[in-house]
Structure 1
Amino acid sequence: MTDDIEQIKKKIIYRSNYRGTKEMDKLLGAFTRKYLNQLNMEDLNQLIKLLEIDDNNLYNFYNDLDTDIQFEDNKINKLFKNFKY
């Protein structure tokens, strides 16, 4: 089980740092570095869902701009929204 979680964390780190836009690479990379080891499996699954969202909508969500999608009200989205880079 621990190996599975470590593999998931490695994938999350990679996906956070290689998004496509430099802004989101830096923002999500810093966010995951800060919180990754504090998250339980449910939180990790929420983070995976967050990482599936395109950069434009994530950037707009983070900056309180209009988004094309509805964001869930969950712990990870709240942490991301309030994260100070």
Structure 2
Amino acid sequence: MIFINLHIDQLKKKIIYRSNYRGTKEMDKLLGTFTKKYIDELSLNDLSDLEELLNVDDANLFNYYNDLDYDFKFKENHITILFKNYKYVDK
């Protein structure tokens, strides 16, 4: 059980890092705040789906989030639904 928790903690750290260092400041903020809000509530499957979502390029993620045209096939799952419905407010 300790090994599983260690793996989950390492996965969370990797996800947090990747969500905050995307390449564009807008996506850093959007994905960083999204991840911070939900990371501790997610199951291992959700974390895996979030990691997969973070592999998508910024342009497609931005367009998907903003209901613009994108050329990537997003899987519909708990993470993509949360992301699509996430209300980002720039402070």
Aligning the two structures, in what range does the TM-score lie when normalised by the shorter sequence? over 0.9
1:81 counterpart letter in structure 2: K
Specify the alignment match of 2:13 in structure 1. 10
Specify the alignment match of 2:53 in structure 1. 50
Which consecutive residues of structure 1, in runs of 5 or more, have no partner in the other structure? none
Rg bigger for which structure? 2
Equivalent-residue separation in structure 2 for 1:4 and 1:71 (angstroms): 26
How many residue pairs get aligned? The number is 85
2:22 counterpart letter in structure 1: R
1:34 counterpart letter in structure 2: K
Per-residue displacement from partner, 1:19-50 (whole Å, max 9, x unpaired)? 00000000000000000000000000000010
Specify the alignment match of 1:59 in structure 2. 62
Give the TM-score, by structure 1 length: 0.99
User: Is 2:43 aligned against 1:21?
Assistant: no
Per-residue displacement from partner, 1:26-81 (whole Å, max 9, x unpaired)? 00000000000000000000000100000000000000001011111111000000
Give the secondary structure class of the aligned counterpart of 2:70: coil
Quote the RMSD (CA, aligned, Å): 0.4
Equivalent-residue separation in structure 2 for 1:66 and 1:74 (angstroms): 20
Give the TM-score, by structure 2 length: 0.92
Q: Percent identity?
A: 62
Give the secondary structure class of the aligned counterpart of 1:66: coil
